[in-house]
Amino acid sequence: MFVDFSYDEVVEHLFDLLRTEPNVPHVEQTKTTEQKRLAIRAYFNVRFPGDLYKRLLLLSDTLLQQELAKKNIAVPTGEELVTLWQGDITTLQADAIVNAGNDQLRGCFHPLHNCIDNTIHSAAGPQLRADCDIIMASQGHPELVGGAKVTRGYNLPAKFVIHTVGPNVAGAPLTPIIEAQLASCYTSVLNVAHQMKEIETLAFCSISTGEFRFPKQRAAEIAVETTKNWLANQTHHFKQIIFNTFSDEDTAIYQKLI
């Protein structure tokens, strides 16, 4: 269910609604629709998973669905089991996409941050953080490096998001333990997806290669090797496993490995 507003109107109404909530981050310029839209994203980035009341969700879902309708949605094609796709993972209509988060698993709280965690949460809507909060509250401890949890995709083209926590290298030398942790991310995601018959197409982001600074070449080698080994040793229902890249550099690395 959505409200019958133009894009400018829904931005205006949602902006006005969010300004009434506590702890609204300060945004200097909020005169134009574009500036107000950025302010909305910034607020949802820092908003704790609390009361998602009806009007908030109606406006948020309407806004995100209108934006989704304007995007060029990519639909997985081809018959290759393991393939490569370059682009914005939030526009990929796979059954599930992978989000590389931190051990709190509630998304990035830095306003307008350009990490994959922030990007996916911002496109999915506040329900994604609420789902993650339920999982973490039930679990009662930070998510382990190399683990994986699944939520719905909400306003994403993907039906599901599988969240994993990769190793944070941050300039430290690679060790067998760190490499094994990254491999565990791919294995855990595949195991979770394998349990859900609805997930036939699965898209991996490049886990740990952004903010966590895992060297890209070695990360790609581990990703492809681990995934291919898992597929070769399991009776599975997957139709396509996609390695998603964003830069030409990453694409060139994966092209030599797949």
pLDDT in tens, 25-62: 767 668 899 999 999 999 999 999 988 999 999 999 99
Distance CA 14, CA 10 (A): 6
Are 66 and 124 part of one and the same domain? no
Burial class (CB in 10 A: 0-12, 13-18, 19+), 254: buried
Q: How many domains does the chain have?
A: 2
Are 226 and 129 part of one and the same domain? yes
Distance CA 143, CA 203 (A): 21
Are 124 and 163 part of one and the same domain? yes
Are 35 and 124 part of one and the same domain? no
- Identify whether 234 is part of a domain: yes
Region of 136 (left: φ > 0; alpha: ψ -120 to 50; beta: rest) is alpha
Residue range(s) defining the domain that contains residue 46: 7-70
Residues in the chain where the model's pLDDT stays below 50: none
Asked if residue 158 lies in contact with residue 96, where contact means CB atoms within 8 angstroms, the answer is: yes
Are 102 and 217 part of one and the same domain? yes
Sheet of 201-204, strands arranged across: 82-86, 240-245, 201-204, 96-101, 160-165, 148-152
- Identify whether 237 is part of a domain: yes
Tell me, what's the pLDDT at 172? 85
Tell me, what's the pLDDT at 9? 98
pTM of the model: 0.95
- Identify whether 77 is part of a domain: no
- Identify whether 2 is part of a domain: no
